[in-house]
Structure 1
Amino acid sequence: MSGRYFDAPVIGLDLGGTKIAAALVGADGTVLARHTLATPATEGARAVLDALAAGARAVWAPGAAAIGVAAAGVIDPATGTVTSATDTIRGWAGTALAAGLATRTGLPVACDNDVRAAAATELAGLGEDGILIYAAVGTGVGGAVAAAGRVLHGAAGIAGHLGHLPSPEADGLPCTCGATGHLEAIAAGPAITAHYARLGGERADRLQTVAERAARGDPHATRAITLGARATGRALGGLANALGPHRVVVAGGVSRVGALYRDALCAAFTAELMPPLRALRPVPPHGGADAAVLGAAALTRTLPLHRPETTGVAP
């Protein structure tokens, strides 16, 4: 089914652990409408599918041809299911994502991992042999790897899950996947906030609060943010040595907290690089805030569509 082209708008949905972003995207890639709502991450898969359907309805317009969903978790585009997931979204593993959403909306649905979908928008200009490493640091730590013009899915659809690389900075810390010592346990937004408290900082409800305190000179906040940044930079630098990328992109809400974070990540990344890569630097995504929803919409043109009339009941 690859290579299809809709001469009509499609809906792009970006599902993260905190929020759902929805957009109506024209055939030329223009965002025609936007809507954002909270992810009911603790309420189970049915509630999340209902919220996705609500987001789609909020931006729907007559003639909308399909829905593309860029979702957290390990996604199998061929079956439209969530094959594995952390507990960031309760009960998400095993969800029939495409079937559930097609049933709720009456539109055909294509789906993939959220970070892979966003990474696909970064491939222009890389060339036939270009290699891309894409990291998204937010509620969790996700990633994607692309080579020869396509984003890799790998065995079981798990390629690119950078947040579950071992990280010395996270030694002994529990990860959302159930293991310990993974990058996500020290580098994700909630992980940095939790580490700030472990260092002795006053209670903070979110990363932005920690960042504001760091800007005012709070040493615990500064240490927590720079440690998360260094852990991410070291992991990406090691991957760069292994893969020889032409571009390394760092996206996500954590990457936007300020120069303190960016400078620490870049310094740690550069320190890991072998000499032939010393000029390589992490860069922000080209697509800006719309990258995820644009990537989601593009899935409808490249991945299998799961149609309402052939899908089963929602989970």
Structure 2
Amino acid sequence: MRREADRRPSTRPTSRPPSAPTIPTARGAGELLRLLREHEGLTRSELIEHTGWSRSTLGARLDSLTAAGLVQSSGVGASTGGRPATRLSFHPGAYVVLAADFGATHVTVALTDLAGTVIAETTSELHIADGPEPALGWLVDAARQLMDEAGATTTQLAGIGIGLPGPVEHTTGVPIKPPIMPGWDGFKVASWVEERLGAPVYVDNDVNLMALGEHASAYPGVDHFVFVKVATGIGAGLISGRRLHRGAVGSAGDLGHVRAPHAPDVPCECGNTGCLEAVASGRAIAAELFPGRPREDIGTREVLELLERNDARATAAVRRAGRDIGEVLATVVNLLNPSVIVVGGSLAAGAPSLMAGIREVVFARSLPLATSHLDLVPSRVGSRAAITGAAVTVIEEFLQPDSVDARLATLGVTA
């Protein structure tokens, strides 16, 4: 286990709130906390001005939030002749969040505060194909150890976010026929983990979480955004109107199982042939470069090792894979018209020729209007994207105004 003090970029604006009231008087402490999250360091007078509440109503709701540990003093304002007014801010250290990112051959678990700041984390090699109970059992043990090391109790655990490398029915936290996850189909991941850790569990496809993490950290002001992961598999996370689009049953963005236009009839692990993932993923490229070795024994790591040695065959194969991805991604550009496409994942991080192949085809095959203001760029957040997205998922759910009000009522401190 290792500890970190890795400050995630804040997505909360720090400007003063507008002069018009921002909180309807009928709403409660949860809405007040949202205002304090959006605008740090407000005085009681400023809060009264911008809520329209009486001093007694404001005081009661602040007392509730303070008793729950969610609000703290953050210095004093400028004096206007009398005693300087105390400024109040959201306190992200009141609760902790567990965020887990499962890949095909690894898992990372991090403990964060309510601002997404990593307190401690651990990473291990782990094969998702070994089944749900061994993988999730490791997660539970690691989570308990991280909390023990940080001195956090179960009552401080706001929730657990989990990313899996396959399709997930988000509302139930159940994987649905994931191609590279034997034994996981229909397994009740959320309830299994919740029974053992005693906090709400949110499960999603890892690429969706990578999209959320990259968007929150690097592109919070972008309305239409696509994240493409290229690693052992290929997938996409789609954000439209600043909201993640999961589709009817959680399978939106399954880019890897779109048929590649010029691909041969290569069998794919999903059961079809000619899928993009079957010809352009890290494992597919490795199979091409190491034809005598079993597919299950090779993957992205071996491709990256060849690229580090400037192997010409590997460079050409990766660029060709980039073109295949670009053919499919051009359709996404024409259909969804994003303003930013970020390409991440372990293969993208170590293979500049992949991005070159993608850009070559996307800008040639997409409509000029759709690409006139399109940024197609590598990930800024890198391997942290899924962990960040998992934490963001929990934090946003936990700090919804209605959720805050309900928690205060449970604690007996509601106003």
- Matched ranges for 1:227-266 at <5 A: 227-266=320-359
Aligned residue among 198, 218, 225 for 1:132: 225
Letter in 2 for 1:94: G
Q: Which residue in 1 is equivalent to 2:395?
A: 301
Alpha-carbon offset, residue 91 of structure 1: 1.2
CA RMSD of aligned residues (A): 2.7
Alpha-carbon offset, residue 267 of structure 1: 1.5
- Taking CA–CA contacts closer than 8 Å with sequence separation of 6 or more, which of the two structures ends up with the larger relative contact order? 1
Q: Which residue in 2 is equivalent to 1:84?
A: 177
Q: Which residue in 2 is equivalent to 1:49?
A: 136
Q: Which residue in 1 is equivalent to 2:206?
A: 114
SS, match of residue 174 in structure 1 = coil
SS, match of residue 110 in structure 2 = strand
Q: Which runs of 4+ in 1 moved over 6 A?
A: 2-6
Q: Does 1:268 align with 2:355?
A: no
SS, match of residue 237 in structure 1 = helix
Matched positions, count: 300
1:183-214, CA deviations, whole angstroms, 9 ceiling, x for partnerless residues? 1111211111012234x89x994434334434
Alpha-carbon offset, residue 216 of structure 1: 4.3
CA contact under 8 A between 2:158 and 2:199: conserved in structure 1?
yes
Distance across 1 between alignment mates of 2:338 and 2:252: 15
Q: Does 1:282 align with 2:369?
A: no
SS, match of residue 78 in structure 1 = coil
TM-score by length of 2: 0.66
More displaced stretch, 147-156 vs 296-305? 296-305
Letter in 1 for 2:130: E
Compare CA radii of gyration and give the structure with the larger one.
2
Change (3 A) 1:159 1:302: farther
Q: Which residue in 1 is equivalent to 2:124?
A: 37
CA contact under 8 A between 1:126 and 1:246: conserved in structure 2?
no
1:53-109, CA deviations, whole angstroms, 9 ceiling, x for partnerless residues? 2332342241333211122222122212112311x2221111101011112323321
CA contact under 8 A between 1:18 and 1:139: conserved in structure 2?
no
Distance across 2 between alignment mates of 1:296 and 1:257: 24
Letter in 2 for 1:24: L
Alpha-carbon offset, residue 127 of structure 1: 4.9
Letter in 2 for 1:71: L
Aligned residue among 17, 23, 44 for 2:104: 17
Letter in 1 for 2:107: I
Distance across 2 between alignment mates of 1:215 and 1:97: 38
CA contact under 8 A between 1:36 and 1:55: conserved in structure 2?
no
Change (3 A) 1:302 1:196: same
1:150-199, CA deviations, whole angstroms, 9 ceiling, x for partnerless residues? 0011111111111111103432111121111111111211111012234x
Q: Which residue in 1 is equivalent to 2:78?
A: none
Letter in 1 for 2:120: A
CA contact under 8 A between 1:189 and 1:207: conserved in structure 2?
yes
More displaced stretch, 235-244 vs 275-284? 275-284
Letter in 2 for 1:284: P
TM-score by length of 1: 0.85
CA contact under 8 A between 1:40 and 1:51: conserved in structure 2?
no
CA contact under 8 A between 2:339 and 2:373: conserved in structure 1?
no
SS, match of residue 180 in structure 1 = coil
1:5-49, CA deviations, whole angstroms, 9 ceiling, x for partnerless residues? 974110100111111111111112211111111223232222122
Distance across 1 between alignment mates of 2:262 and 2:301: 21
Change (3 A) 1:58 1:268: farther
Identity %: 33
Q: Which residue in 2 is equivalent to 1:310?
A: none
Distance across 2 between alignment mates of 1:170 and 1:25: 43
More displaced stretch, 239-248 vs 189-198? 189-198
Change (3 A) 1:300 1:217: closer
Letter in 2 for 1:27: L
Distance across 2 between alignment mates of 1:42 and 1:127: 38
CA contact under 8 A between 1:77 and 1:111: conserved in structure 2?
yes
Distance across 1 between alignment mates of 2:176 and 2:309: 43
Distance across 1 between alignment mates of 2:298 and 2:258: 26
Distance across 2 between alignment mates of 1:223 and 1:288: 24
Q: Which runs of 5+ in 1 are unaligned?
A: 306-315
Distance across 2 between alignment mates of 1:241 and 1:249: 16
1:109-151, CA deviations, whole angstroms, 9 ceiling, x for partnerless residues? 11211111121134455658x2111111111111111111100
SS, match of residue 157 in structure 2 = coil
